[in-house]
Amino acid sequence: MNPFRKQNHYELLEISPGASPMEIRRAYKNAFELYKDESIVSYSFFTPEERKEIIAGLEDAYLTLINPESRAEYDRTLIASGAVEEEAPYYHKTRDPISIYDLRKTHADMIGPRRRTEDLKHVVSHNKLIQEIMSQDSLTGADLCKIRKELGISLEKIAEETNIRISMLRAIEGDDFDSFPPMVYLKGFLKSYARYLQVDEHVIIDGYIKRVGKQHS
């Protein structure tokens, strides 16, 4: 599979050099699904060695690109070799003027529901800190708290809108494992929490549960 082996990390994952960490994560996950041993679509196409080689290449690409430092360095080598334009990499994009709404000033809680959803989505997808947190492998309560504060939403407001007790929300953000309800309820709470903030509920639930699972099960 020589031509394939010669592809750069972005080409391997089928993403653009401007991809966000979340896109990188998703692309890796999709590619892994396709090339893993159990995939009935690809098992008969490749020999076991070819498959191993492809998976190793994907892992290398993912690990390099998901870490901001190694990614910056990798981008530099790509730019130097002329493979990508200097303007293309991610860190250039994030410097563009982003939001027309500064939610902390306009106060998200006071905007009508429809506007609120769209504005929040916009901020979530353009806020660098939130994007970084969302691309982490696991999430702490403090991470959730940071996202929430970045969006300018109070805990009281979430409690009111989602009907989750405020003490429970505090326990979640404070990683107070002893006060947690059974897992199914916890997942439900996280889902409502994520939905109210207009962030990807799967990322929040998976990221948070991953840590909790180890200590609370």
Partner 1 sequence: MAHIWPIGGGKGGTGKSFLTGNLGILLAKNGYRTLLVDIDFGTANLHTVLGIPHPETSISDFINKKVGTLEETVVTTAIPNLYFISSALNSLDITNIVHEQKMRLLRSITKLPYEYILLDLGAGTSFNTIDFFMISNSGILVTTAEPTSIENIYRLIRSVYIRRIRQELKVHNFRVLAEEAKTRDSRATEQNPEILLYIIKEIDPERGRVVEQSLRGFEFKLVLNQLRKQDDPNIGALICKIIERHLGLKIHFIGNISFDDHVHSSICKKMPFLHIYPYTQTASDIRRCYENMVSLKETQLCIHGVAE
3-state SS assignment for residue 79: helix
Give the residue among 16, 12, 20 at the shortest CA–CA distance from 203.
Answer: 20
The values of phi and psi at residue 154, to 5°, are -90, 155
Question: From the CB of 133, what's the least distance to partner 1, in Å?
Answer: 30
Site membership for partner 1, residue 8 (CB under 8 A): no
| Secondary structure string (H, E, C) spanning 150-176 | HCCCCHHHHHHHHCCCHHHHHHHHCCC
Residues 54 and 46 sit within 8 Å (Cβ to Cβ): yes
* Binder among 29, 34, 56, 107 for partner 1 (CB under 8 A): 34
Question: From the CB of 16, what's the least distance to partner 1, in Å?
Answer: 17
* Pick 58 or 171: Cβ nearer partner 1: 58
Site membership for partner 1, residue 40 (CB under 8 A): yes
Site membership for partner 1, residue 44 (CB under 8 A): yes
Rg (CA), the chain: 20
In the shown chain, the binding pattern of residues 46 to 85 toward partner 1, with x for contact by CB under 8 A and - for none, equals ----------------------------------------
Largest CA distance in the chain: 59
| Token reading at 18 | 């401007």
**What distance in Å separates the CA atoms of residue 46 and residue 44, rounded to the nearest whole number?**
6
Question: From the CB of 184, what's the least distance to partner 1, in Å?
Answer: 25
Question: From the CB of 206, what's the least distance to partner 1, in Å?
Answer: 21
Question: From the CB of 40, what's the least distance to partner 1, in Å?
Answer: 5
Site membership for partner 1, residue 4 (CB under 8 A): yes
Query: In the complex, which residues of this chain contact partner 1 (CB under 8 A)?
Result: 1-4, 34, 40-45
